[in-house]
Amino acid sequence: MLDIKSRIRTIPDHPHKGIMFRDITTLLLDPRGFRKAVDELVQAHAGVRIDKVAGIEARGFILGGAVAHQLSTGFVPIRKKGKLPHRTIGEDYELEYGVDRVEMHVDAVGPGENVLLVDDLIATGGTAEAAIRLIRKAGGNVVGCSFVIDLPDLGGRRRIEALGIKVLTLCAFEGA
């Protein structure tokens, strides 16, 4: 049986000392591993009406685009401030040292549309929570959040579940 976790590379002290960076590029390079990850992200939502898949910049674009393709839905890029060419709506979120912002096009999600949010990893959940608020601001309904990796010690999964949203993760790494 193919193990997704074993196909994820850990890079110590990146981008800062003490951080164990979980690099999914090794998973993406492995055709069987990538396919399995996408299949598992899709199969968990069988029978759920999903109108759009939203992916958080940048690795969420890769995974979310593949999931949207498999589900035959549209894809919504959620990007950092100033990166989208058309009119946008945005949501701020707190970082360890400051504030950042995510945006999407004003016409990306319509009222009542069911949206699946996808990214590579959930850590503290701040970016995902901002993306959820953004989708809701547009009138969309977030039907779930799917991530390849969970860092449970950082509490992001609990933060998103506290919003009443189901969270799917394919593997977990203890520690930060």
- Give the number of residues written for the chain: 176
What the block records as the tokens of 122 is 């959930």
Sheet containing strand 74-80, edge to edge, reads 88-95, 98-105, 74-80, 52-56, 114-122, 141-150, 167-172
**59 in active site:** yes
Instruction: Determine the Cα–Cα distance for residues 69 and 151; give it in Å rounded to an integer.
Output: 27
- Any alpha helices (H) in the chain, and if so which ranges? 25-29, 31-43, 59-71, 126-137, 156-161
Q: Given 59, 91, 103, 129, which residue is catalytic? A: 59
Instruction: Determine the Cα–Cα distance for residues 160 and 144; give it in Å rounded to an integer.
Output: 10
Query: Which residue(s) pair with 77 in the sheet?
Result: 55
- Secondary structure class of 27 (helix, strand, coil): helix
Cα distances (angstroms) measured from residue 45 to each of 74, 105, 173: 16, 25, 23
Catalytic site residues? 59, 96
